[in-house]
Structure 1
Amino acid sequence: MKGKIIFFSVCLLLATGIVSAQDKNAPKSIISTSALIKKYHDQKELQGMKKGELLELYIERIKVLVKTLPYIALATKPGVTMADLGIPNDADNRKILAEQAESTTSFLDVTVAFQRRMVPYSDTDNLVAAILFYENTLKSLHEFNDM
């Protein structure tokens, strides 16, 4: 009886592992799916926020821009894959896309650390203006495909 329980448990574990394993060859999004802005703001709304909140919005917008701008010749919204664009989903292209994602993450880690250290010394009005500029840039990117 114990043997059957152990056998079925091992089979169930292996089946679960096979089913839940990700396909390494599945097309990946060119633009990170985390490159989204949840909400856009107006100047009055931003001026009513504390500097800490503004700093977080500023950093979020920098991240989205860094994850989007290098790819606007290919796509402007997250979720578009190489296959969607007709780019071969071969090992070389998957590797270069993975290397680019890794480099972007490394760059953002350093940039965010810098922003968290330096931006609190900025003038609040300049911070608000920068956030509005970044948001307008992001809105323009979403309209880019209509051209």
Structure 2
Amino acid sequence: MKAKLTLFSAIFFLMIGLGHAQKNEESKKKKDQSQSIISGKVNISKYHSREQLDEMSKGELLTLYIERIEVIVNILPNIAFATKPGVTMASLGIPETKENKKALEDNMEASDNYFESTVEYQTKILPYSDTNDLIAAILFYESTLKALHTYNDFKED
């Protein structure tokens, strides 16, 4: 009986040790990977016509407006580097120094904070906006997002 208990204990601690080692290895791999310069929501599911937007309730329009702001906040400040996720400092040839990684993390945190405060403001104030102005803003944001598909046309080869 004592031998079984000892064997069971040894196997138990071995399994815990292996699980912990695997977790540390995954954490290290994740830390070593380059972080994408663009993260978060980077596209919208559908573009709309004025007629489609005219048929929507103000609540639906507010949701669309905020979704478009989120995409714009995640992409536009970084278009000199990338317009799609997956581009990293390493893929651009930017040295992955401690300072550069920190700058990227700080920028992402600032973007997140900005978006959160903007959404908080918009959910309180935007319902007072004129529906026609809200529709115009959504159409403007959507045209801006469509223009990102032509961004590479402005680059010289």
Aligned AA (1:62): I
Provide, for residues 3-43 of structure 1, a one-character-per-residue CA deviation record: whole Å limited to 9, x for no partner. Answer: 23313321331243134325323111111142221221121
Residue number in structure 2 paired with 1:67:
74
Structure 2: runs of 5 or more not aligned:
1-6
Between the aligned residues of both structures, percent identity stands at 49
TM-score normalised by length of structure 2:
0.86
1:23 counterpart letter in structure 2: K
**1:81-115 deviation digits (Å, cap 9, x = unpaired):** 11121111221111000000111111111111110
Matched residue of 2:31: which SS? coil
Alignment of 1:1-147 (within 5 A): 1-21=7-27, 22-147=29-154
Deviates more, 1:70-79 or 1:101-110: 70-79
Aligned length: 147
The letter of the residue matching 1:16 is Q
Q: Deviations over 1:47-88 (max 9, x none)?
A: 111111110110111111111111111112222111121111
Question: SS state of the match for residue 146, structure 1?
Answer: helix
Q: Which structure's CA Rg is the greater one? A: 2
Higher helix share: 2
Q: Distance in 1 between matches of 2:65 and 2:97?
A: 37
Q: TM-score, normalised by structure 1?
A: 0.91
What are structure 1's unaligned runs of at least 5 residues? none
Q: CA RMSD in A?
A: 1.5
In structure 1, how many angstroms separate the alpha carbons of the residues matched to 2:139 and 2:93?
Answer: 35
**Kept after mapping to 2: 8 A contact 1:29/1:79:** yes
C-alpha separation between the residues in 2 aligned to 1:91 and 1:26? 13
